[in-house]
Amino acid sequence: MEKLVSLCKRRGFVFQSSEIYGGLNGCWDYGPLGVELLRNIKDQWWQTMTYREDVEGIDAAILMHPRVWEASGHVENFTDPMVDCKECKARFRADQIEDSPCGSPAYKGRKAHKCQSEGKFTEARQFNLMFKTFVGPVEDEGAVVYLRPETAQGIFVNFLNVQSASRQKPPFGIAQIGKAFRNEINTKNFLFRTREFEQMEMQFFVKPGTDEQWFQYWKSQRLDWYIGLGMTKEKLQYHQHEPDKLAHYAKEAFDIEYLFPFGWGEIEGIHNRTDFDLSRHEQFSGKSMKFFDDQTKEKFTPFIIETSAGASRSFMAFLVDAYKEEEAPTADGKMEVRTVMKFHRRLAPVKAAVFPLVNRDGMPDIARKLETDLRQSFRVFYDDSGAVGRRYRRQDEVGTPYCLTVDSQTLQDHTITVRDRDSMLQERIAIDQAAAYLSEKLAT
Ligand code: GAP
């Protein structure tokens, strides 16, 4: 993890938020390469989930009517038990004391459970994870709104709007990507548990009685999505929630977990939310949330199958999974260790790098023209500094799948070399075929 975090900063994937002020705990900024990778993950998700007949997309507001969060159960139930250390004033999640370090610099290396056993902790109190703020100029109770802790509620309250506007009938889904906020007591493990993060959620509305079958369908679709984008199959698993551990809305729940360096961690949840959400919104708003089928004259409250992925957590899992250190030959035939990010081609932040072999004989002009042409369709990078072997290594480290080099042969026959990131093999192609070559390779 340390190597990865350092690479992320050095190469511009992720920076600490407000770093020059000492950082803000649980918040991270995506740098030039990180934002591309994150966008590519979200684009892949959006394409898979919404470029189908039975799913529509929306983008709901982050701030919602406060009654939404009463209906959803978040005001009452979205809490973690919290304890304070009376001595050093550090705050802990009562259920995570085992792995937490003691908050006092005076006890370096000590675990918090030792302080607990010495009676230094307060009784556990429930702490609501929603961030509160105010709408308008008066900061009183009547003006309180929350930063949404999940994107799902924006979908539930728009169920009938989307259904009638798009003339869909259950079974159909609504998908959304957006920021969510949780005032986590303990943030940890880089991007894994943060206070501001992004979710990619899809709620699939089905006729009661068909929910089991749709649950199974989405459970396998979602696991396949990660595998299809190159994530190591053996590092993915399902984790079923025990009945006594289910969230207040769920009848059945499975997590998709990834094996991070610190152990298995959830990257997505698949939940059978029953008719809980629509019934509660009906009850709290006084507006019917039932679906009426004109043809069959049936009226019912749909059950909801939810697929809830973290964009930021998936980002971290894709980063961890891509990171490889392997032996590679240098230009003079020796072996060295190269760091290579083996991103799936569709996720790679930069698709191709263009190099002139040397900065003379007209090679830079040809390479610049190639770069300009490719830029119309692809995110490319131009590099003319240092030995070509070093340039390959720099691109390996950020996961660029192809390096295109203009060399002396280009001057004679208008061909260039294409070097493949993973095999490190090179082939020659016609320079005017470079865009078609990349299109074909990147589509797979
Ligand atoms: N709508 C259901 C829901 O929000 P969840 O299991 O609480 O379910 C879904 O969250 C996903 O959101 C998680 O699998 C994870 O990927 C992501 N997520 C949740 N809390 C997070 C946090 N504090 N930091 C980063 N990602 C988080």
Report, as an integer, the average pLDDT of 284-309. Answer: 96
204-254 pLDDT tens trace: 999 999 999 999 999 999 999 999 999 999 999 999 999 888 887 889 999
140-176 pLDDT tens trace: 888 999 999 999 999 999 999 999 999 999 999 999 9
- 406, 367 in Cβ contact below 8 A? yes
How remote is the CA of residue 42 from the centroid of ligand 1, in Å? 15
Is residue 356 scored above 80 in pLDDT?
yes
Token match 């918040």: residue? 27
pLDDT of residue 102: 82
pLDDT of residue 317: 98
Phi, psi of 146 (to 5 degrees): -120, 150
Q: Kindly indicate the confidence band of residue 58, based on its pLDDT and cuts at 50, 70 and 90.
A: very high
Atom of ligand 1 at shortest range from CA of 255: 14
Report, as an integer, the average pLDDT of 278-283. Answer: 98
Q: Which residues line ligand 1 (CB under 6 A)?
A: 150, 152, 182, 184, 193-194, 197, 199, 201, 266-269, 306, 308-310, 312-313
Atom of ligand 1 at shortest range from CA of 256: 14
Is residue 99 scored above 80 in pLDDT?
no
Is residue 271 scored above 90 in pLDDT?
yes
Cα separation, 92 vs 125, in Å, equals: 11
Pocket test for ligand 1, best of 150, 202, 204 (most atoms within 8 A of CB): 150
Cα separation, 317 vs 260, in Å, equals: 7
pLDDT of residue 105: 77
Cα 380 to chain centroid, rounded: 23
Show the CA angle centred on residue 231, arms to residues 227 and 236, nearest 5°: 80
pTM here is 0.94
Cα separation, 255 vs 257, in Å, equals: 6
Q: How does DSSP classify residue 135?
A: S
Is residue 365 scored above 90 in pLDDT?
yes
The reply to whether omega before 149 is within 30° of 0 (cis) is no
pLDDT of residue 265: 97
Residue-wise burial string across 303-317, b where 16 or more C-beta atoms lie within 10 A, e elsewhere: bbbbbbbbbbbbbbb
The residues near 389 (Cβ < 8 Å, ≥ 6 apart) are: 330, 331
